[in-house]
Amino acid sequence: MTILRRIEILFSGHGTAFYGGEAITQTEHALQCAQLAEQAGDPESLIVASLLHDLGHLVMSEDGTTDMRHQEVGADLLAVGFGPAVTEPVRLHVAAKRYLCAIDPGYQATLSPASLHSLALQGGPYDAAQAEAFVAHPHGPDAVRLRRYDDLAKVVGLATPPLEHYLPMVSRCIRRIS
């Protein structure tokens, strides 16, 4: 099975489940994230990362595991077909939340109750040394952009393009392995 087909199956299956403690589905959340990145004029790699950033949640649903490191699971799955411009913002989007909580005093107050709960499970805000290490990562700025989209992409009933709109972008971002 190709990575593109697996993505389609995950979204059509486990993507129909609600997203954490939010009132939208996993797929609705993913499409809203991608739409925000597209509207901002981000490169296709960040639009695709925004679409796929929570794929680890769908994979863990598929596998029945209780592992809470969905960002690692998703990035590792995506690494079989995508380069770091897609996988690293996915891998770092949880770290970006912890970073933003450390550097922006008002950021944590903007998080939804579900996101605050997951922040506690993820280790809470970074300390100064952790924040400094995060900001030095070459994909840190893209992860912060993705994180901002992640925080905003929880609007019940928001109209978005369908998954099929983004699949050509996903396909173009897949590495050609010969």
Check: CB of residue 61 under 8 Å from CB of residue 17. Answer: yes
Q: How far is CA 107 from the centre of its chain?
A: 18
Closest CA to 48 of 59, 34, 58, 36: 34
| pTM greater than 0.85 | yes
Q: Note the pLDDT tens digit of each residue in 112-149.
A: 887 888 888 889 999 999 999 999 999 999 999 999 99
3-state helix, strand, coil in the chain (%, to 5): 65, 0, 30
Domain 3-173 has CATH 3.40.50.170: no
44-52 and 140-152 helices, crossing angle to 10°: 50
Tell which wins on pLDDT, 63 or 97.
97
Tell me: the pLDDT tens digits for 25-51?
Answer: 999 999 999 999 999 999 999 999 999
CB 87 within 8 A of CB 46: no
